[in-house]
Amino acid sequence: MLKKIFVLIRNAFFLAFFLFLGALTVCTVAPMLWHSIFPSEAVEVADKSIEIKKAMLGDACNKENTDCKKNVLIIIGAIDDGTLSAVEQVAEKTKFDTVCFNSPGGNADAAQRIGNWIKSNNLNTCLAERYKLENGVTTSKVQCQSACPYLLLMGKTRTALGSDFNIGVHRSGVPVDLCVCHFKLNEFWPYFYTSGYRDMLGRSDEAEIHQSLLSDSLEVDSTSIHRLTQAELEKYAVFNAIGAAGPSTQ
């Protein structure tokens, strides 16, 4: 009798365990597959009446709006396959020569594809204190972090419009999003992704200097961000022009 009870308890335990494992797998993998098959081209915002796509035309300006680059492509939000799709849609319809950013970073593969596209098309890049989007929305508190700075470095002319923005780096980490927790694998994978960024930066006009930024970023844990100081922006040649029509920094 006791043996039968033990077997029933054991079987119930294994059944519960495998049901839990199956549910965990489904709710973890399903969103990943959904976003992979149907990437969103829009940024999630609190005001649902406003649509902000991950790539939009607009003006990049300093905070006083006295110095602007007109008709630039602005990459907004986390970089992923939806960003690639949004960029392609704008590029098919409109000509522009500058790509600007307001992004916390994102998917390494998507970022590297955008960076190589910037270089292949001989485009300029910029970072501004404020962006005026084509739909009338104005964004400030600009950031360019994680993967974003490496895209900025791929521009032929890399313009700073003001200085009140956040440029930050860290070593890459692979995000793992489970139903019950979110974490990054950051021991082996950073070096795997570094090779792709290193190859991309090898095409930049100041490859050796730019690759040194990538190397130094490995000292920063993937769960942290190191904000580049003015001295570091100069050391790593992040910008080579100040202002829309300003003098070169070199």
- DSSP assignment string, 126-147: EEESEEEETTS-EE-S-EEETT
Q: Which residues contact 117 (CB under 8 A, 6 or more apart)?
A: 87
| pLDDT tens column, 12-24 | 776 776 666 655 5
Q: Is the pLDDT of residue 184 over 90?
A: no
250 within domain boundaries: no
Q: Tell whether 30 and 64 lie within a shared domain.
A: no
Q: Tell whether 34 and 49 lie within a shared domain.
A: no
* Band of residue 181 on the pLDDT scale cut at 50, 70, 90: low
Angle at 101 between CA 152 and CA 96, to 5 degrees: 85
Q: What is the pLDDT of residue 121?
A: 98
Q: Tell whether 17 and 76 lie within a shared domain.
A: no
Q: Is the pLDDT of residue 93 over 70?
A: yes
Q: Tell whether 23 and 47 lie within a shared domain.
A: no
How many domains are contained in the chain?
2
Q: Tell whether 99 and 27 lie within a shared domain.
A: no
Residue that is written with structure tokens 């960003």 in the block? 83
Considering only CA atoms, which of 123, 122, 124, 129 is closest in space to residue 60? 129
> Picking from 49-58, 113-122, 140-149, 205-214, which range would have the lowest pLDDT averaged per residue?
49-58
* Band of residue 37 on the pLDDT scale cut at 50, 70, 90: low
User: Among the ranges 107-111, 183-187, 221-225, which has the highest mean pLDDT value?
Assistant: 107-111
Q: Give the type of residue at 169.
A: V
17 within domain boundaries: yes
Q: What is the pLDDT of residue 128?
A: 98
29 is in which domain, residue-wise?
1-38
Residue that is written with structure tokens 């916390």 in the block? 104
Token couple for 36: 């992979």
Q: What is the pLDDT of residue 214?
A: 95
Q: Tell whether 13 and 98 lie within a shared domain.
A: no
Give the span between the Cα atoms of 140 and 33, in whole angstroms.
Answer: 33
Q: What is the pLDDT of residue 171?
A: 83
Q: What is the mean pLDDT of residues 52-75?
A: 97
Q: Tell whether 86 and 165 lie within a shared domain.
A: yes
Q: What proportion of the chain, given as a percentage, has pLDDT over 70? A: 73
Helix (H) / strand (E) element for 107: namely none
103 within domain boundaries: yes
16 within domain boundaries: yes
Q: What is the mean pLDDT of residues 210-223?
A: 92
Q: Tell whether 50 and 147 lie within a shared domain.
A: yes
142 within domain boundaries: yes
Q: Tell whether 108 and 137 lie within a shared domain.
A: yes
Dihedral pair phi/psi, residue 42, rounded to 5°: -115, 150
Q: Is the pLDDT of residue 113 over 90?
A: yes
Q: Tell whether 107 and 16 lie within a shared domain.
A: no
Q: What is the mean pLDDT of residues 86-112?
A: 96
> Picking from 43-47, 103-107, 212-216, 246-250, which range would have the lowest pLDDT averaged per residue?
246-250
Q: Please count the residues of the chain.
A: 250
Q: What is the pLDDT of residue 135?
A: 93
Q: What is the mean pLDDT of residues 221-243?
A: 95
Q: Is the pLDDT of residue 34 over 50?
A: no
Q: Tell whether 156 and 230 lie within a shared domain.
A: yes
248 within domain boundaries: no
Q: What is the pLDDT of residue 250?
A: 43
Q: Tell whether 120 and 205 lie within a shared domain.
A: yes
CATH number, position 53 = 3.90.226.10
117 within domain boundaries: yes
Helix axes 189-201, 108-120, angle to 10 degrees: 10
249 within domain boundaries: no
Token couple for 244: 């829309």
Could you tell me which residue, 42 or 189, shows the higher pLDDT? 42
